[in-house]
Chains A and B, each alone.
Chain A
Amino acid sequence: MASSGFQADVKALQKHLAARHLIYQHQHNKQMSCPAMAQLLSNTLYYKRFFPYYSFNVLGGLDNEGKGCVFTYDAVGSYEKVGYSSQGSGSTLIMPFLDNQLKSPSPLLLPARDAVTPLAEAEAIDLVKTVFASASERDIYTGDKLEIVVINADGIRREYMDLRKD
């Protein structure tokens, strides 16, 4: 889960979900699938509808069949399965670019599908790096360092990249 917003709420939310994941593993003897966690995150956020977690989340992972999925959230739990998303500072700069690169060409072609052309892993990582490097140029809050988490059948891997330090 990648979160943006108030750091203490983000941390609290992450810890809460980690604890719930552990309970799930004890009870079901397996890891939670991404769609299951997606629903849990939504419920957790809505639970505090009237004193929200100030956290804007994007959830990524593998479903029960091993296919990748991405879910995007607002602060109070409304969520949607998408092909790509961005939240937080700089998202206004990033989202249009992702739409340009990844969205299906004609919005008249229903249903409009995201990420029509699935990217190869290396291409996707490259896109992420490009997108953040660009956002760092114009958004004052985006910069310093980028952490990329890659989840695939082999497991979870992290990559780091330096961004503009100003």
Chain B
Amino acid sequence: MFRNQYDTDVTTWSPAGRLFQVEYAMEAVKQGSATIGLRSKTHVVLGCVNKANSELSSHQKKIFKVDDHIGVAIAGLTADGRVLSRYMRNECINYNFTYESPLPVGRLVVQLADKAQVCTQRSWKRPYGVGLLVAGLDESGAHLYYNCPSGNYFEYQAFAIGSRSQAAKTYLERRFENFADSSRDDLVKDALMAIRETLQGETLKSSICTVAVVGVGEPFHILDQETVQQMINAFEIVGEQEGPAAEPDAAAGQEAAAEQGGSTDEGVAPMDI
């Protein structure tokens, strides 16, 4: 009832003590296509669903390398995400220039959160409409953080954001206790399974998802399509059960993927394009 009266400015409180503009910004995150992250003691994996505007266009880049030890996956207004990635890259470079050592993930995340907070307290600005899953490795281990448009940030063992992320979250909640000791390949497989949950019936192919890994002795990099497709084939043959790690380089045929009905994509909000 009161929502529409107090939601014009980001600098206007509602009588209930809420900033609606900030909350609307968080809605924008929910409109973006799904993005998930999970970590073990030594590795962090990010995955996202690539939704292209049409068959003619390319899909948007949602996973960015920030430094050798940090990467970020975004959901929401991709343009805002790109700008923030550029900021993060600069911060890492500057820190490295001054201290000749990699920027600790926790520090970067706080700087990012402070930057977001500024936009919630200036009348001439608007909050960033993007949620960021920051994956990184530093001296204190592997980390996964979620940065909100509100300026809040949280550390997670595993998380999912974007549209239909609840399905992925449910899957992750069932399994997260095992993640800490998972091997790298198991972690990637879990990531792919979680992504598949968000697709709700659509076949999981490497052309519609992107996976990136960072870990001990492994700088942040995005896995190429072939590797991802091989891993998908491997576990689809094993079946729906979460069995022991199948060989990721199983040279199996592609016909293993079960065709499940026509996919009715719910329209993604135009702003995510």
Seen from chain A, the residues whose Cβ lies within 8 Å of a Cβ on chain B are: 15-16, 19, 22-23, 26
Contact = CB atoms under 8 A, between A and B. Distances in A.
A26 B65 contact: yes
B97 A15 contact: yes
Instruction: List 3 tightest A-B contacts by C-beta distance, closest first.
Output: A19-B93, A26-B89, A19-B97
Nearest to A29: B65
A84 B31 CA distance: 58
A96 B13 CA distance: 77
Nearest to A22: B93
B97 A23 contact: no
14 contacts: A15-B97, A16-B97, A19-B93, A19-B94, A19-B96, A19-B97, A22-B89, A22-B93, A23-B89, A23-B90, A23-B93, A26-B65, A26-B86, A26-B89
A19 B94 CA distance: 8
Contacts of B89: 22-23, 26
Name the prevailing secondary structure of the B interface residues: helix
A19 B93 CA distance: 6
Contacts of A19: 93-94, 96-97
A23 to B, nearest CB: 7
- Which of B89, B93, B96 gathers most chain A CB within 10 Å? B93
A16 B94 CA distance: 10
Contacts of B96: 19
A92 B178 CA distance: 67
A22 B94 CA distance: 11
A13 to B, nearest CB: 12
B201 to A, nearest CB: 34
Contacts of A16: 97
Contacts of A15: 97
Interface string B84-118: 00100110011011000000000000000000000
Given A19-B93, A23-B89, 12 more contacts: A15-B97, A16-B97, A19-B94, A19-B96, A19-B97, A22-B89, A22-B93, A23-B90, A23-B93, A26-B65, A26-B86, A26-B89
Contacts of B65: 26
A24 to B, nearest CB: 11
A19 B97 CA distance: 7
Contacts of A26: 65, 86, 89
Interface in B56-89: 65, 86, 89
A19 B92 CA distance: 10
A23 B90 CA distance: 8
A152 B233 CA distance: 38
Nearest to B67: A22
A15 B99 CA distance: 11
Contacts of B93: 19, 22-23
Contacts of B90: 23
